[in-house]
Structure 1
C-alpha cells in the first residue's frame, strides 16, 4: 500500500506588483495592466514515518534585496510545524531561485534533491547573465556547491521517487531544471507545482510568467499538468505564488493561523 501524507502549505512572504511585471509580454494580450499580489510559499510533506521539506523560502538578505515583505521567518515557521531541522530531513529543491533556496543553512545535515539540469545550469557558463542571474543569490548557489562537496546533493535526471508516495519530476520552462512534486495524501494526489505554475490564471490561460528559460518547455509543462489533472493522476494543483492558494485548502490553527493550510491528514 502506498504511503500517504499530509501536505502543509506555508505562506511566509508577500508583495504587491502589477500584471505586466509577472506575465511575459503582457501587452500582447490586449488587456489593461493592473495590480496583482504575489505570495511566497514553502511546503512540508509528512506522515508518521517521515518529514520532507519542499523548498526553503527566501533569506532575510534575499528578500531585503528585492523589497519583499516577510510575514514569518521560515525558521520560525518550520519550528512551529515541529520540523526537526537538526535531524536532517530530506529537502527537495524545485529550482534554485532566491525565494526557494534562501534558507538551506537551516538544514545543514539534510540531503538535497535537485534536478541535475538545474545544478548544471547554475554552476555553468551562462548563470551570470543579467536576465537570469537577477533571480539568484551567489552565496546561495555556493551553498549548493558546498552541499555537493559534502556529498549531500542528490541530482536526478527526469523523475525520481523520493519516498513511497512522493515523486519529483523535472518539467523545465521557468528554469532548466524546474521541478514539481507529487504527493499521495488521504485526499488524493497533490501536485506541488512550484514555479512551473505561479498562478492559477497563468495555468488556466496559458500565460507564461515573465521569468522563463525555455518558453516552449513552459507551455509543455502546462499541457503535462493538464493531462495529469484530466486523467485523475493528480487531484489538487498547488501553484507557487498565487494569493488564492490558502483559501482553497484547510486552514491551520495555532501560531500559523492565516499563514498555512493543509491537504490530507497525517497518518
Structure 2
C-alpha cells in the first residue's frame, strides 16, 4: 500500500433481532406490513504502512447489556486480534454503540465534530428521546479527553477525510478512505441500512429529519460521481457479505476492502 492508500477492516462485534417498525421512523406511513429485521453492530479499522485509524469503538459490556444486545466478540478482543495498539480514533457520533470502549485507548487522539460535542454538552442532551441512546459515564469520559474537533470537513491524513453530515445526530460524520479498490465511504449511522438510502427511509433515531434526507442526497451524489466507490452501511446485516471475508480469529466476523 502507498502512504495514501489504506486497507479498511469491518468488524461485526454484536447483533440483535427486532422489527422494521422499530428501526424506521414512522414506519406505518409506508403502508407496508411489519416484519423481522436484524441489526448488526460494527466498528472499522483503517490502516496503511504509516498509521492506524479506528472509526468508533463499539458498545461497552454495560451499555450492550442494558439494552439486551448480543455480543459476538468483545471489542477489546477484536482490537487485540487485529494488533491495534495506539490508533487515532474518529468518533462519528456519541451514541453508546460508538463510544463504549474509548477507555481501551486512553492516550489516543480523538477526532469528533464540534456540533456533536456541543450537543451532548448542551441543554437538550438529557431529553428522553435523545438521552436513551447514550451512557452518561461515556459522555463524561469523552468530555474529559483532549479532542481534535472540526466543523464541516477535516482532512485527517492523506487519503482520509471526515465529513460532517448531521441528521442522525447534529455532528454525525462519515469517513471517506482511499484504498487500492477505490474510495470507501464509511457511512456509520448516516446510513444504518442500505435500504435507508435506496428508499429514503430515515432511521427512527433522528435529530434533524431534513438533515438526514440531505445526507442521503450527498451520499448518493458521492457514489454517482465516483467520489466514493464502496458504501459501508452502519448496521446492515448484509454488510460483511459485500466485501472480502477475513480468515483467522475474526473469520465470520470481519471483512476487508483494499
**TM-score with structure 1 setting the length:** 0.95
Q: What CA distance in whole angstroms lies between the structure 2 residues aligned with 1:23 and 1:67? A: 20
The answer as to 2:154 corresponding to 1:153 is no
Q: Secondary structure at the match of 1:210?
A: coil
Residue 145 (structure 1) shift? 1.0
Q: What CA distance in whole angstroms lies between the structure 1 residues aligned with 2:50 and 2:150? A: 24
Q: Secondary structure at the match of 2:46?
A: strand
Question: Runs of 4+ in structure 1 displaced over 2 angstroms?
Answer: none
Q: Secondary structure at the match of 2:203?
A: coil
Residue 263 (structure 1) shift? 0.1
Q: Secondary structure at the match of 1:38?
A: strand
Partner of 1:132: 130
The answer as to 2:52 corresponding to 1:14 is no
Partner of 1:27: 28
Please show how residues 34-53 of structure 1 align to structure 2 within 5 Å. Answer: 34-53=35-54
Residue 23 (structure 1) shift? 0.2
Q: Secondary structure at the match of 2:54?
A: strand
Q: Any gaps of 5 or more consecutive residues in structure 1?
A: none
Structural RMSD (CA): 0.8
Question: Could you list the per-position Cα deviations for residues 190-231 of structure 1 after superposition, in whole angstroms to 9, with x for gaps in the alignment?
Answer: 000000000000110000000000000000000000000000
The answer as to 2:183 corresponding to 1:185 is no
Question: Could you list the per-position Cα deviations for residues 15-67 of structure 1 after superposition, in whole angstroms to 9, with x for gaps in the alignment?
Answer: 00000000000000000000000000000000111100000000000000000
Partner of 1:80: 81
The answer as to 2:218 corresponding to 1:224 is yes
Partner of 1:112: 110
Contact 2:94 2:116 in 1 (8 A): yes
Q: Secondary structure at the match of 1:45?
A: strand
Q: What CA distance in whole angstroms lies between the structure 2 residues aligned with 1:217 and 1:125? A: 20
For 1:168, which of 151, 162, 166 is the aligned residue? 162
Q: Any gaps of 5 or more consecutive residues in structure 2?
A: none
Q: What CA distance in whole angstroms lies between the structure 2 residues aligned with 1:241 and 1:144? A: 23
Q: Secondary structure at the match of 2:93?
A: coil
For 2:95, which of 94, 97, 100 is the aligned residue? 97
Partner of 1:208: 202
Contact 2:3 2:49 in 1 (8 A): no
Residue 2 (structure 1) shift? 6.8
**TM-score with structure 2 setting the length:** 0.99
The answer as to 2:139 corresponding to 1:141 is yes
Q: Secondary structure at the match of 2:183?
A: strand
